[in-house]
Structure 1
Amino acid sequence: MRLFHTSDWHLGQHLHGQERDFEHQAFLAWLLARLAERRPDVLLIAGDIFDTVNPPVKAQERLYEFIVDAHEQQPALTIVMIAGNHDSGSRIELPAPLMRRLRTHALGRVLWLDDGTLDTERLLVPLPDASGEVRAWCLALPFLRPAEVTGAQLGDDYLQGIAQVHRQLIEAAQARRDAGQALIAISHAHMAGGSVSEDSERSLIIGNAEALPASLFGEQITYVALGHLHKPQQVNGETRIRYSGSPIPLSFSEIGYKHQILEITCDGERLVSVEPLLIPRAVPLQRLGPAPLDALLEQLQALPNVDLLDEPERQPWLEARVLLDQPQPDLRSRIEAALQGKAVRLVRIAAEYAGQAGAPEGSDAELIALEQLTPQELFRRAWLDNYGNEVDTQTLDDFATLLREVQEEQA
């Protein structure tokens, strides 16, 4: 059996106010071509399908058009997709009855039966090969929100609730499968030891207090397809537990990532291979600097001029990083003037202050833009400013609880 593993599409995402629909369209066309070329039995989409819980109509159209096109191209293909922390689980599941006619399974939430046991039936998806024979079972684990795994019957410990979901689902899968059938888990979570892209991944945890251990997925699981972290990586060096990463760079911190999907090959219960398929970048991200303003302006003026025969949608997104020793009121106008006629699209100017003029006395720290800071870092800095000492662990844990409650209300 052959499977494709992808995640973190973030359809509808904007880069500093600029929409990314052209890039997402290019990725989905590329993925459709790879499906036609490689003919996998299964496509796994491990969450954060959309960038927000209320995605724009165009983003929703992109998803459903892709599913229809994939089914028409390859009627035997099974698609399993789960909700991530950016998604609304209810929205992901809303068209599920219709999508099942397209061999697509959409799981957004976990539910509990009246006796307090997990409704495992809805989270177990049979995975047939091209001949229709079930070769594996998929254990679908959408992002587990605290409200779904805690409560009167389940207790108040978030991590224990998550462990209970994994344990019951794995037990149900083992009882269901026949000899020789693989167990394939798909999950959207932050696993302990994962490398985070700070600028674009909405934090699920403070520190590693709620990072999940790889031991949740025992050796009986042939492969674990993870979503949430945008950098492709193995978890604790395990070949069978992996993040595929995002298909496009979602922030300038991801310029160096090798965006990819993963092609998984299984022989019965045995994992045979995991091969990356590199995704071509439809629109480059380009960073210049940090450099003093005059030097930066020279770099900008040296950029290539616009070629009128090129597609304007393919012009690179540009971040200009300038070193200043004092505020520069006409900074933006001077940078924009240097870029007149250049084949780039300026989306961000990052000013970093050297010496004492633009920073607090005795500090040479750079000026950090608000969007670069997580809620946790903002809280830590505010605490330090107000009380003159670092925030303690218990207060950080209390803040994490409040943050989750707010995110739940927003979702």
Structure 2
Amino acid sequence: MRILHTSDWHIGRTLYGRKRYEEFEAFLAWLTETIQQNAIDALLVAGDIFDTSTPSNRAQEIYYRFLCRVAASSCRHVVVVAGNHDSPSFLNAPKELLKALDVHVVGSSTEDQEDEVLVLHNEQDVPELIVCAVPYLRDRDIRVAEAGESVEDKERKLIDGIRNHYATVAALAEQKRNELGVDIPVVAMGHLFTAGGQTVDDDGVRELYVGSLAHVTAGIFPECFNYLALGHLHVPQRVNGFETIRYSGSPLPMGFGEAKLQKSVCQVEFRSMAASVQLIDVPVFQKLERVKGGWDGISSRILDLSATGSQGWLEVIYDGIEFIGDLRERLEAAISGTQMEILRIKNNRIIDRVLGQIHAEETLDDLNVNDVFERCLAVHDVPENQRPELLRAYQEALSSLYEDDAQAE
């Protein structure tokens, strides 16, 4: 049997105001063709299908059109689990209808974890694969909050909750396999952050739990899993060097920090119970490039790109010695007549001159939510010794906001 593992599509995500629907459509058209060409039997999507819990109509259209195309292909099954960016209730709403297309959706953990253990059958109705389809586990799914508990107590409870959840679904999968009386692979899915996981700047990966907690180790996963398909981190990577525990990574670069990464999906082939993994490179549908340096280096690079007919989107970071007050005007003149577009300009020399204060050249795009809160604390002269506790309370409020399923009612 041959499966394809992908995740973190983030359909609907914008890049400094630019909509990227054409890229998402191009990727999913390529994915449909890849599924057909490689005779894929099951597609696993490990969370963050959409970028927000309230995806636009166009984002939804792209998603459902793709599912219809895959249902009409040689692929027998699609398994989709929710990520931390997805609305569980939104993904779950059409799940009964999608079952008719052999699309299995698990938007959230339920009281009966058997709902996450799926037995997939071939055309002859013979069981061929068991999938432990574990979605993003929200804090409230795996931990009971108690007054007065420390940060360490929270971390321990979160990791224990994740470990116990996977142990339960693994035991259910082995029980089902024994009842079926057939030796078929067990594949697990998940959307989480493993310890030592590689990220890059500007990738938009959001911390899952307050205070960067619950970066789990590979040791918490039961040994009965023949392959573990993970989502959340955007860099394709093995976990702790294990060939069969992997992040597929996002198929599109989510920011300029990812521009030079080779994106891929994971093709997993089972011969008997042994899994072999092959990465399939995803084409670049929209070229991104970060151009950084002094003015001579920047202008030279733009000239080189122009000579090749580049249609890239650029981020320009000026960190030269010379103070340039008209940087934007110079850059606009440099790309005039080309098909390139500058989406972001960061003038580090101006930022340095105002000694870290917000300047007209520095926008909210340059700051994350914690940066903004810390600036507010500084502006209001909050004493340093009070800031860590206030920041932790702020992060808890943010986490609660992120995990609130606005689509549930």
Band the TM-score falls in, shorter-chain normalisation: 0.7 to 0.9
2:194 is aligned with 1:191: yes
Which residue number corresponds to residue 233 of structure 1? Answer: 237
What is the letter of the counterpart of residue 52 of structure 1?
A: T
Q: Which runs of 5+ in 1 are unaligned?
A: 113-118, 308-313, 362-366
Task: Note if contact 2:89-2:405 (Cα within 8 Å) is conserved in structure 1.
Answer: no
Take 2:229 and 2:41, find their aligned partners in 1: how far apart are those partners?
15
Structure 1 residues 198 and 348, CA gap change in structure 2 (3 angstroms): same
2:305 is aligned with 1:288: no
Task: Note if contact 2:323-2:350 (Cα within 8 Å) is conserved in structure 1.
Answer: no
Which residue number corresponds to residue 319 of structure 2? Answer: 323
Q: Aligned with 2:319: secondary structure?
A: strand
Listed as ranges, the matches of 1:164-313 within 5 Å are: 164-178=164-178, 179-199=182-202, 200-205=204-209, 208-271=212-275, 273-292=276-295, 295-304=297-306
Which residue number corresponds to residue 146 of structure 1? Answer: 139
Q: How many residues align?
A: 389
Take 1:356 and 1:185, find their aligned partners in 2: how far apart are those partners?
48
Task: Note if contact 1:46-1:187 (Cα within 8 Å) is conserved in structure 2.
Answer: yes
Take 2:346 and 2:356, find their aligned partners in 1: how far apart are those partners?
18
Which residue number corresponds to residue 353 of structure 2? Answer: 357
Q: Which moved more, 1:244-253 or 1:317-326?
A: 317-326
Structure 1 length-normalised TM: 0.85
What is the letter of the counterpart of residue 138 of structure 1?
A: V
Structure 1 residues 376 and 158, CA gap change in structure 2 (3 angstroms): farther
Take 1:342 and 1:68, find their aligned partners in 2: how far apart are those partners?
39
Structure 1 residues 351 and 170, CA gap change in structure 2 (3 angstroms): same
Take 2:374 and 2:285, find their aligned partners in 1: how far apart are those partners?
38
Take 1:215 and 1:254, find their aligned partners in 2: how far apart are those partners?
29
Task: Note if contact 1:327-1:358 (Cα within 8 Å) is conserved in structure 2.
Answer: no
Which residue number corresponds to residue 115 of structure 1? Answer: none
Structure 1 residues 246 and 360, CA gap change in structure 2 (3 angstroms): closer
Q: Aligned with 2:293: secondary structure?
A: strand
Take 1:166 and 1:25, find their aligned partners in 2: how far apart are those partners?
34
What is the letter of the counterpart of residue 50 of structure 1?
A: F
What is the letter of the counterpart of residue 268 of structure 2?
A: I
> Per-residue deviation at 1:381?
6.7
Deviations, residues 42-81 of structure 1 (Å, cap 9, x unaligned)? 100000000111111111111110111111122x510000
Structure 1 residues 356 and 32, CA gap change in structure 2 (3 angstroms): closer
Which residue number corresponds to residue 375 of structure 1? Answer: 369
Q: Aligned with 1:262: secondary structure?
A: strand
Question: How much is the aligned-residue C-alpha RMSD, in angstroms?
Answer: 2.9
2:404 is aligned with 1:409: yes
Task: Note if contact 1:197-1:229 (Cα within 8 Å) is conserved in structure 2.
Answer: no
> Per-residue deviation at 1:375?
3.5
Select 2:343's aligned residue among 318, 343, 347: 347
> Per-residue deviation at 1:388?
4.6
Structure 1 residues 306 and 260, CA gap change in structure 2 (3 angstroms): closer
Take 1:214 and 1:369, find their aligned partners in 2: how far apart are those partners?
39
> Per-residue deviation at 1:142?
0.7
Q: Which moved more, 1:246-255 or 1:377-386?
A: 377-386
Q: Which moved more, 1:169-178 or 1:100-109?
A: 169-178
Take 1:5 and 1:97, find their aligned partners in 2: how far apart are those partners?
23
Deviations, residues 167-201 of structure 1 (Å, cap 9, x unaligned)? 22121111111341211001111111111234221
Which residue number corresponds to residue 53 of structure 1? Answer: 53
Take 1:92 and 1:69, find their aligned partners in 2: how far apart are those partners?
18
Q: Aligned with 1:164: secondary structure?
A: helix
Q: Which runs of 5+ in 2 are unaligned?
A: none
Deviations, residues 67-108 of structure 1 (Å, cap 9, x unaligned)? 11111122x510000110111011111111111010000110
Task: Note if contact 2:83-2:232 (Cα within 8 Å) is conserved in structure 1.
Answer: yes
> Per-residue deviation at 1:26?
1.1
Task: Note if contact 2:136-2:192 (Cα within 8 Å) is conserved in structure 1.
Answer: yes
Take 1:274 and 1:18, find their aligned partners in 2: how far apart are those partners?
35
What is the letter of the counterpart of residue 49 of structure 1?
A: I
Structure having the higher helix fraction is 2
What is the letter of the counterpart of residue 97 of structure 1?
A: E
Take 1:42 and 1:4, find their aligned partners in 2: how far apart are those partners?
6
Q: Which moved more, 1:64-73 or 1:124-133?
A: 124-133
Task: Note if contact 1:325-1:354 (Cα within 8 Å) is conserved in structure 2.
Answer: no
Select 1:121's aligned residue among 80, 103, 114: 114
Structure 1 residues 407 and 331, CA gap change in structure 2 (3 angstroms): same
Which residue number corresponds to residue 77 of structure 1? Answer: 76
Structure 1 residues 327 and 147, CA gap change in structure 2 (3 angstroms): farther
Take 2:307 and 2:238, find their aligned partners in 1: how far apart are those partners?
41
Take 1:173 and 1:331, find their aligned partners in 2: how far apart are those partners?
60
Which residue number corresponds to residue 29 of structure 2? Answer: 29
Take 1:298 and 1:152, find their aligned partners in 2: how far apart are those partners?
56
Take 1:326 and 1:253, find their aligned partners in 2: how far apart are those partners?
25
Identity %: 32
Take 2:297 and 2:355, find their aligned partners in 1: how far apart are those partners?
22
> Per-residue deviation at 1:216?
2.4
